[in-house]
Amino acid sequence: MHNLVIDIGNTNSKLAVFDHQTMVHFQRLKELDEISLQSLIETYQVKNATVSSVSRDVTALGNFLSRSVRYIPFTTAINTGIKNHYQTQPTLGLDRWAKVIAAKGLYAGANCLMIDMGTCITYDVLTANSEYFGGSISLGINMRFKALNHYTGRLPLISWDKEESIPEGTDTANAIKSGVLLGVLNEVEGFIASENKKYNDLRVIITGGDADFLSKQLKNSIFAPQITNEPYLVLKGLNEVFIH
């Protein structure tokens, strides 16, 4: 049984095909193309599909998928045995909820802190007894660079290479890089330290476009609980819809 899952984010769209719980195909796209989707459905003989979107309405996409497969709209009403205490569930980001569902499927019985290093940085905790109370939303790395440029008169817009080390602030460009990147790292370590005090054997799960940068920085620091890099966490959470 092959399942097609699509995650439409603020910057990119990601899709995957799963054979039960094994990912057999992955793509990162700027735009979704119905002809390519139909070809993918036929190639893998896809039976089920679901979509999570944080940026646009997916009614037309859902109607298209429904003509070829069993389409299940992904909403926060879908649950896999999690006690959801979030007070405004209709406004909970679908990508955040998919990550919570994925954490339960992958690390059942563990206290999990999920950190998504995407357009925004989000922090969500799923407790060992499968309770979810919410989390925090912060500015992503590129958003911080853009904000410094936009809200000041003379600070330039800085690009950064994820493979570079964090520089010392010996000139304006490096001062901005140092401030943004060290600020993010200190913020993340603060969140981890706070949750580590609350929960035993905290497992930190990192995902999102800037996950590799963060994982590398955390592993080079003295602060190192159980850290796992899960680049496909949202997609795995969407696939749990069909497993359950």
Q: Indicate which residues carry an active-site annotation.
A: 95
2 closest CA partner among 56, 53, 43: 43
Residue 52 to residue 16: CA distance in whole angstroms: 12
Take residue 235 and report the two structure tokens written for it.
Answer: 């997609």
Sign of CA dihedral 17, 19, 22, 25: negative
DSSP state of 84: E
Residue 55: both structure tokens together: 């940026």
How far apart (Å, rounded) are the C-alpha atoms in residues 181 and 158? 12
